[in-house]
Structure 1
Amino acid sequence: WAIGLLEVAFSRYCPITFGIRTMGLMGLAYAHYSFWPIWSIPIMVYAFLPQLALASGISIFPKISEPGFLLYLFLFLGAYGQDCLDFLLEGGTFRKWWNDQRIWLIRGLSCHLFGTLEYLLKSLGISAFGFNVTSKVVDDEQSKIYSQEMLDFGVPSPMFVTLAVAAIVNFFSFSFGFLQMICGSDDNEGLPLQMLLAGFIMLNCWPVYEAMVLRTDKGKMPTKVTIIAAFLAWTLYAAAFHISFSK
């Protein structure tokens, strides 16, 4: 789906140009969906860069004592607060809103990310992985998982690797920042916003933590995926520490 959306977005039938000429402002609505997979880029940045900086002791957000801190906090809380309010006013519940924004983030780190990469490779004439149709047969145990509103991570898909890496990186970065706060580091003022972001992603990644450690059903994340994710997370930390200490 993500590849097809981008193919339309960057074709002569682009909703921004062709769509507006033929449908008026409705073309912008279609443009929103056609460019949707590109959201994976900022999601990837916010899922990894501030956390790796936090683990390296580098502050990239304003300190508590700086006016910019309140601006960042207002934008974060205001954006999610407005989204939640709109959801509730339309008859939804808080739990449904939470699951909706969680799935939005999960898509950004999985199907939208891989779709964007595959589209770029295809545009450059580089062979990429084809689209594999997954089995739609649901057995009794899978049906039970879905009825309990739980996510199924039982398929050994590379899309789950990025999710697991993000979960691991944010967990250890948040833990490192928390220890720094407790130990009373001299540069604590620059940590709260990065810890807030890491903690928020950790809450969204709770189903991933369950799938990696706690679950024993068919929805459990394959051990191979967990090991690969742990190795990649360690590689990211090693690279971040190397860059930090080299400066």
Structure 2
Amino acid sequence: MSIITTSILELRWSGVTIKAIWRNEQFWVIRGVSAHLFAVFQGFLKMLPSIDTNFTVTAKAADDTEFGELYIIKWTTLLIPPTTLIIVNMVGVVTGFSDALNGGYESWGPLFGKVFFAFWVIFHLYSFFKGLMGRQNRTPTIVILWSVLLASIFSLVWVKINPFISKTDSSTISRTCISIDC
């Protein structure tokens, strides 16, 4: 309760609107799953002795024809993780409702917590998704293909792990052989 009160007082004293805070939080999530993720990956690659990740520094006054190819940014690799995250959460919501419809009354309680967090991620990435689709639906095909592939792999791994079924409760484990290692 004191954290909420402190946050409300800080909002009031600073004069920052809730909309500005929401936009800042959205951009924080988008940067966290795209650019910062690749920065960490590049840092790991720099630690390997045989891989060189140096970049060329150019002056602003440099001739555009000489370094023109350096200013062309290929955004496709940065678009894949957030798009994958959107797809995984959308599939999770659909799968959750499907499982709740098939599972009966007891499965609706845990569903609301799972769906809340899935929608929380989707709402945070909504501006990214809107910008991605806002360019006359010219999203690069490779982004969609890699995102669907990664989302499928993550979903299959999640189904295989299935963390919401306890290992000791044999009543919830299916008697048929549906796993990969049967």
TM-score over 0.5 (shorter chain): yes
After TM superposition, the score normalised by the length of structure 1 is 0.50
Report the Cα offset of residue 171 of structure 1. Answer: 1.1
Report the Cα offset of residue 242 of structure 1. Answer: 3.1
Please say if residues 118 and 128 of structure 1, whose CA atoms lie closer than 8 Å, have aligned partners that are also in contact.
Answer: no
Please say if residues 46 and 53 of structure 2, whose CA atoms lie closer than 8 Å, have aligned partners that are also in contact.
Answer: no
Other-structure match for 2:98: 179
Tell me how far apart the structure 1 counterparts of residues 50 and 115 of structure 2 sit (CA, whole Å).
Answer: 39
Which residue of 219, 224, 229 maps to 2:147? Answer: 229
1:166 partnered with 2:90:
no
After TM superposition, the score normalised by the length of structure 2 is 0.65
Which residue of 194, 197, 200 maps to 2:120? Answer: 200
Report the Cα offset of residue 187 of structure 1. Answer: 3.2
Where structure 1 has 5 or more consecutive residues not aligned to the other structure, the ranges are: 1-73, 137-153
Any idea what SS the aligned residue of 1:191 has?
helix
Other-structure match for 1:119: 43
Please say if residues 156 and 222 of structure 1, whose CA atoms lie closer than 8 Å, have aligned partners that are also in contact.
Answer: no
Please say if residues 26 and 127 of structure 2, whose CA atoms lie closer than 8 Å, have aligned partners that are also in contact.
Answer: no
Deviations 1:72-105 (A, max 9, x none): xx8xxx67x8657634531111211111001111
Tell me how far apart the structure 2 counterparts of residues 132 and 235 of structure 1 sit (CA, whole Å).
Answer: 36
Which residue of 129, 143, 151 maps to 1:209? Answer: 129
Tell me how far apart the structure 1 counterparts of residues 40 and 24 of structure 2 sit (CA, whole Å).
Answer: 21
Any idea what SS the aligned residue of 1:216 has?
coil
Other-structure match for 1:239: 157
- Root mean square deviation, CA, Å: 3.3
Tell me how far apart the structure 2 counterparts of residues 178 and 128 of structure 1 sit (CA, whole Å).
Answer: 47
Any idea what SS the aligned residue of 1:187 has?
helix
1:33-72 matches, within 5 Å, as: none
Of the structure 1 ranges 228-237 and 185-194, higher mean CA displacement relative to structure 2 is found in 185-194
Tell me how far apart the structure 2 counterparts of residues 115 and 209 of structure 1 sit (CA, whole Å).
Answer: 22
Report the Cα offset of residue 204 of structure 1. Answer: 1.1
More helix by share: 1
The verdict on how the C-alpha distance between 1:85 and 1:238 changes in structure 2, with shifts beyond 3 A counting, is farther
Where structure 2 has 5 or more consecutive residues not aligned to the other structure, the ranges are: 61-72, 163-177
Please say if residues 88 and 151 of structure 2, whose CA atoms lie closer than 8 Å, have aligned partners that are also in contact.
Answer: yes
Please say if residues 118 and 129 of structure 1, whose CA atoms lie closer than 8 Å, have aligned partners that are also in contact.
Answer: yes
Of the structure 1 ranges 168-177 and 88-97, higher mean CA displacement relative to structure 2 is found in 88-97
Count of matched residue pairs: 149
Code of the residue aligned with 2:139 in structure 1: it is M
Report the Cα offset of residue 127 of structure 1. Answer: 1.6
Other-structure match for 1:103: 27
The verdict on how the C-alpha distance between 1:199 and 1:82 changes in structure 2, with shifts beyond 3 A counting, is farther
Other-structure match for 1:151: none
Code of the residue aligned with 2:51 in structure 1: it is S
